[in-house]
Amino acid sequence: MTEHETPQETPQLCTREARACGVMASGEEDGSVEEKQTNNKKRTKGTIATAWLTVYNIAMTAGWLVLAVSMVRFYLQKGTHKGLYKHIARTLKCFQTFALLEIGHCAIGIVRTSVIVTGVQVCSRIFMVWFITNSIRQIQNEESVILFVVVWTVTEITRYSFYTFNLIHHLPYFIKWARYNMFIVMYPLGVVGELLTIHAALPYVRRSAMFSLRLPNKYNVSFDYYYFLIIVMLSYIPLFPQLFFHMLRQRRRVLHGEVIVEKDE
Ligand SMILES: CCCCCCCCCCCCC/C=C/C(=O)SCCNC(=O)CCNC(=O)[C@H](O)C(C)(C)COP(=O)(O)OP(=O)(O)OC[C@H]1O[C@@H](n2cnc3c(N)ncnc32)[C@H](O)[C@@H]1OP(=O)(O)O
């Protein structure tokens, strides 16, 4: 069973609708030459955006699938999670870093998502990959690292295949269902993995004073990465619920057709 909803069919009243890609002004036939030209431009932009997003989502689905296969093969061959992070690090860094493009997609309006919500999600992941796990070798074999990497992988394969099938108008219901149900378990699990990993990093950060700047120095500025990490951990308390409730709203809108009125971000 496949499903497709064009933006026009989606029962949503949101102000960001106006900048959604592919949304055409109604009554095009009756408009002036200028209106027709504007609509043609919009349509061309919509086609280019859709083509780009399709390529992007296919590439990201493939990337995370490669990561999944690589993890399963490693575990079957070695029978341990030790060394797994090192084995998949390059692929993980590559595809998670590519996700920065998603902030751009929102900023230029080709996807109907808030820049802030996407920004927090993507930046927190980039931070976990580059400034925690990649920078502190001693924690790479922690179980919590494997927990968040596995959770991210399952989530991203589902999310990017959802976007891909949606764009090509052949969305199997089970993918839509998985996209808007799995996060209920996956989000908290991912957060637990991330927080435990940052927690495990704290002693090494304190001992090595990495990424820290102590006084006196020529800039007369001090920065303690150890305390910064504690602030990052605390920031999950206000930020995570916002992301989680955002996804619950999306779930109600997409699976139950609820009309959600949102402010333009
Ligand atoms: C400097 C250090 C800072 C540190 C800060 C620390 C604080 C961090 C606190 C928070 C920590 C979070 C940790 C996260 C852990 C995990 O990820 S665990 C794994 C579980 N995770 C998830 O389930 C992730 C869920 N998140 C997401 O899906 C996104 O990131 C999102 C931004 C929250 C998604 O929201 P949104 O895009 O609004 O929802 P959708 O329903 O998917 O999409 C809305 C519409 O946009 C279209 N769209 C979006 N992207 C695309 C695309 N790539 N291609 C095509 N279309 C796209 C989508 O189809 C929807 O369109 P319509 O249906 O027409 O509306």
For the cut 50, the answer to whether the pLDDT of residue 7 exceeds it is no
Ligand 1: atom nearest CA of 152 is: 19
Say what the ipTM of the complex is.
Answer: 0.94
Helix and strand numbers (H, E) in the chain are 8, 2
pLDDT at position 246 is 95
State the pTM of this model. Answer: 0.87
190 lines ligand 1 (CB under 6 A): yes
Tens-place pLDDT, residues 27-77: 445 567 778 777 776 676 689 999 999 999 999 999 999 999 999 999 999
Residue with CA closest to ligand 1 atom 6: 124
Q: Is the CB of 235 under 6 A from ligand 1?
A: yes
Q: What own/partner pairs with CB < 8 Å and gap ≥ 24 does 206-215 have?
A: 210/135, 210/136, 211/131, 211/135
d(CA 71, CA 149): 10
Identify the pLDDT of residue 36: 76
For the question of residue 258 being annotated catalytic, the response is no
Is 171:162 a contact under the CB 8 Å cutoff?
yes
Query: Residue 143 carries which DSSP code?
Result: H
Q: Can 194 be counted among the known catalytic residues?
A: yes
